[in-house]
Amino acid sequence: MEHVLVTGGAGYIGSHACKALKAAGYVPVTYDNLSTGWRDAVRFGPFEQGDLLDRARLDAVFERYRPVTVMHFAALSQVGESMVQPGLYWRNNAAGSLTLIEAAVAAGCLDFVFSSTCATYGEHDNVVLDEATPQQPINAYGASKRAIEDMLNDFGAAHGLNAVIFRYFNVAGADPEAAVGEFHRPETHLIPVMLEAIAGTRPALTIFGTDYDTPDGTCIRDYVHVCDLVDAHVLGLEWLRAGKGSRVFNLGTGHGFSVREVMDAARCVTSHAVPHGEGPRRPGDCTKLVSGSTRAEAELGWKPHRSSLAQMITDAWRWHQTGHYEQ
Ligand code: UDP
């Protein structure tokens, strides 16, 4: 069977990708330094512990498995943290990815699927965010991801690297079988934080900013189910293997929900109101990030099945109640 190197396979999205890859007939090889991932989340293929910045270790892993494709999820991904510790983001995300890309090219593994982000777009008033929208990130997280996109383009021109770049909107939900799920320590993302507040394992959710220029004053995001998102990655891998070349795809549903709307949906799913307070804006947050593209549907044949707000929160709530990793 063919191997796929999954960096960050012990993390939230990477672990779901490993499950989807195994179901599609591949052997997902997780490469992860466990800085934010979990050994317990590696359930669908071999595990190789290592850091993106460790070129010798990467070379040994490429040599051992000879993967047909790299799926690169490993990254730090907190907007707020990136504003106060940008060095972490430039070193781990940008320099780490450069090391990985060089190792892949040296090993002759020229198909690369990359997790980018809508945070690369930044603030755009009344502009539909599609793949041609100028990338003007307003936080170090988005800037580090945009830099990696640039690297992939340059390595494509010079070395024939083919990259499918996915710009994710807000990923949510969990595996419906709760074999894997979202588990960050500390947790900062909206839906799991809300569920922790409902479960009483944290006192309350703080709404970061109620004075945005949106109908209810809170930020608007486009939420996509992690299982739908990883399905797109398998399609992206097949796209590359069919020789269709480098391409960028937004992954979102095109529907935006405010923080207060997400709280309402959580109340409906769990039958409990979200305990909450209101706080100042979080530095680096954009007012509104909603995908305006259907390219992934049109070209990859991607169809999101589980990305209603109610389904994502239902799956996240099931995982919250039944699943966990050993810390
Ligand atoms: N948010 C919030 N309180 C929290 C966490 C998030 O109000 O404790 C808001 C945040 O300001 C943003 C949205 O929820 O508008 C989604 O934030 P998250 O951190 O989940 O994802 P991001 O959009 O930063 O990738």
pLDDT tens profile 20-66: 999 999 999 999 999 999 999 999 999 999 999 999 999 999 999 99
Measured from the CA of 79, which atom of ligand 1 is nearest? 24
Find out whether the peptide bond into 186 is cis, omega within 30 degrees of 0: yes
Tokens matching residue 6: 């999954």
Lowest mean pLDDT among 135-144, 155-164, 317-326: 317-326
Question: Does ligand 1 lie within 6 Å of residue 190's CB atom?
Answer: yes
Quickly count: other Cβ atoms within 10 Å of residue 293's Cβ. Answer: 20
Residue 217 has pLDDT above 90, yes or no: yes
Point out the catalytic residue in the list 31, 121, 141, 223: 141
Mean pLDDT of 126-152: 94
> CA 164 to CA 113: how far, in whole Å?
5
Ligand 1: residue of 116, 259, 290 to mutate (most ligand atoms within 8 A of CB) is: 259
Task: Give the mean pLDDT of the chain.
Answer: 96
272 C-alpha to ligand 1 centroid (Å): 20
Question: Atom 20, ligand 1: which residue's CA is nearest?
Answer: 189
Confidence tier at 284 by pLDDT (50, 70, 90): confident
Distance 291 CA to ligand 1 centre (A): 17
CA 89 distance to own-chain centroid: 15
Nearest atom of ligand 1 to the alpha carbon of 193? 8
Per-residue pLDDT tens digits for 62-121: 999 999 999 999 999 999 999 999 999 999 999 999 999 999 999 999 999 999 999 999
Q: Atom of ligand 1 at shortest distance to CA of 262?
A: 14
Q: Nearest-CA neighbor of 149 among 133, 134, 163, 159?
A: 163
Q: Are 148 and 114 in contact (CB under 8 A)?
A: yes
Does the active-site annotation cover 65? no
List domains and CATH numbers for the chain. 3-172+223-251 (3.40.50.720), 190-221+254-322 (3.90.25.10)
DSSP-assigned states of every residue in 25-67:
T-EEEEEE--SSS-GGG--SS-EEE--TT-HHHHHHHHHHH--
The rounded Å distance from CA 251 to ligand 1 centre is 18
Q: Is 282 in the pocket of ligand 1 (CB under 6 A)?
A: yes
E strands present in the chain: 3-7, 27-32, 47-49, 69-72, 111-117, 162-168, 170-172, 205-208, 220-221, 223-225, 247-251, 257-258, 276-279, 288-289
324 has a pLDDT exceeding 80: no
Pairing of β 69-72 and β 257-258: unpaired
Give the Cα separation of 211 and 281 in Å (integer): 8
Residue nearest to atom 16 of ligand 1 (CA): 190
| Residue with CA nearest ligand 1 atom 25 | 170
Give me ligand 1 centre to Cα 157, in Å: 36
Report CA(55)–ligand 1 centroid distance (Å): 34
Q: Residue 11, exposed/middle/buried by CB under 10 A (0-12, 13-18, 19+)? A: buried
